[in-house]
Amino acid sequence: MVRTLTWRDGMVFALNMPIGLFLTLGYTVGAIGGWTAIAIWGVACTLAFLQSHLFAEMAAMFPNKSGGISVYAYEGWKRHFAPLGAIAAFGYWMGWSLSLSVEGVVLGTLIEQAFFPDNDIAVRLPIGHELGLPYLIAIGAIVTAWALNYFGVKIAAGVARVTGALLVIGLVVLVVGPFVSSGADFDMSRITWSGASSPLDWKIIVVWFYITAWTTYGTEVCASFAAEYKDPVKDTSRALRASAAMILGIYLVVPYVVVGALGEETIGANPVNYIGLAFDKILGSYSWLGQLPIMAAFIIAMMTATADGGRSLYGISRSGGTIKQLGVLNRYGVPGRALTTDMMINVVVLIVLGEPIAILLASNLGYLTAVTLAVGAFVLLRRDRPDIPRPIRLARPWIPIACVLFAINAFAIGVGILNPGLTGYGGLSETITGIGILMIACVLWYYRQRVQDKTSIEWRVRGDDHPDPTDPDPDPADGATVQTDCAELPTETRS
């Protein structure tokens, strides 16, 4: 892959994380109160910051591997039960990729409310579902995010820098505005410890942690570009730690100011368009100017989700964990087939299902499973492969810290799976859907082993303990070098 990024580019891609805050703030605050929600996000961001140190060490161990924490999970667990690695990779892809549908619809809704409030545009499909303007905008945004990634990571990074700058401006207006604008007033008494549900019920708190953890843990996305940083060791480590610290600050300050300006009841009653209400108070008739940076943030989020989902599929294919067709780079040095597969699945999700929030809730199970297995992989790699080069080596106390983080995440997954209805936004069907999607990973893993590689099933894979650091992308499955579509390569590359 082409090494053109710096750690600052990784931080720009991590700026997609406030979108998770915007998507969940209204629902969370309305259910459990502002202070409780802020406390949950604060704890989750702290855990994410600790996990970023673990991922930095593993990223330095595999600087030439694309796919981020899903690949680290595969490397750690393949000696013990190889299908877990495939499940981690597919779950990671679920968490990032399927969020595109929700982000696209919310972006379309914001654009419709700001610029086309009285439109009646709709396309009726034969299956009976009607695609309104927000859904048409969402499909266009998904295709645009694919195009910006398909033709090289530098294009995506350049667009992300511009939209990231706009997002920072929007966040500054959102945070400072309630204190200086004559139309907005901040009142800390509007923030309470209680909402529609009692915060004293520990199960409700844990389930909300389970639902919102994907919005804070996502700073690990910086590791997915390890094979594309100019200095994969230093840049990955800096991007991971700086992004985690940045998101911690945003997730504490933004909810505090927004809830204090609008109040919990207003936000709970308008869980999606509360952003527009906040800018109405701050900017009055020019509120659309404030919403533009937020729309820009959605563009970052969709580009990042597309890039990360595609690299996850590519990385696990190169490691032998899923079908070979996804482990291919195009002429621009990016996993074009995986990106295209990612785009097509999300368009189908929007057209067929219409209401993608259920898929988002289901995909959360896959994402947290991937993160948890990646944290466990840190401990397993320390024990099973102690001699592999570690340019970044954490002190021994980080091993018990990793065990505690693994236990916390596993506990949250267990409580979330058993009590999905406590939030009022999910049920058993979403859990079953998430488990079903994860099982597809096992089918594709089996197909790769028996049909494509024509080998016996290896439930425990040894692999190479000392991969050649000069190998551009070592593949323990077949020892092959990077596979590309030769027809797409420039003439000088083909020769």
* Residue boundaries of the structural domains of the chain: 7-452
What is the DSSP track for 438-461? Answer: HHHHHHHHHHIIIIIS-----SS-
What is this structure's pTM? 0.78
Residues of the chain with pLDDT under 50: 199, 466-495
What is the DSSP track for 99-162? Answer: HHHHHHHHHHHHHHHHH-TT---EEE-TTS-EEEHHHHHHHHHHHHHHHHHHT-HHHHHHHHHH
CB 327 within 8 A of CB 483: yes
pLDDT at residue 86, as a whole number: 76
CB 231 within 8 A of CB 69: no
**C-alpha span between 94 and 101 (Å, rounded):** 11
Lookup result for tokens 């092959």: 480
Residues 6+ apart with CB under 8 A from 124: 130, 131
pLDDT at residue 378, as a whole number: 95
Q: What are phi and psi of 484, to 5 degrees?
A: -135, 165
**C-alpha span between 182 and 202 (Å, rounded):** 40
Count CA atoms within 13 Å of residue 175 on its CB side. Answer: 14
**C-alpha span between 162 and 443 (Å, rounded):** 41
pLDDT at residue 402, as a whole number: 96
DSSP-derived letter for residue 422 is: G
**C-alpha span between 495 and 473 (Å, rounded):** 21
pLDDT at residue 429, as a whole number: 67
Q: What are phi and psi of 183, to 5 degrees?
A: -85, -10
pLDDT at residue 481, as a whole number: 36
**C-alpha span between 17 and 21 (Å, rounded):** 7
Structure tokens at 208: 């909300």
**C-alpha span between 133 and 149 (Å, rounded):** 24
> What would the pLDDT profile of 75-107 be if each residue is shown by its tens digit?
888 888 878 877 887 788 777 777 777 788 888
> What's the angle, vertex CA 111, arms to CA 180 and CA 143, rounded to 5?
130
DSSP-derived letter for residue 389 is: -
CB 318 within 8 A of CB 286: no
Nearest CA to 185 among 286, 284, 282?
A: 282
Identify the CATH assignment for 7-452 out of 3.40.50.10480, 3.20.20.120, 3.40.50.740, 1.20.1740.10: 1.20.1740.10
pLDDT at residue 411, as a whole number: 95
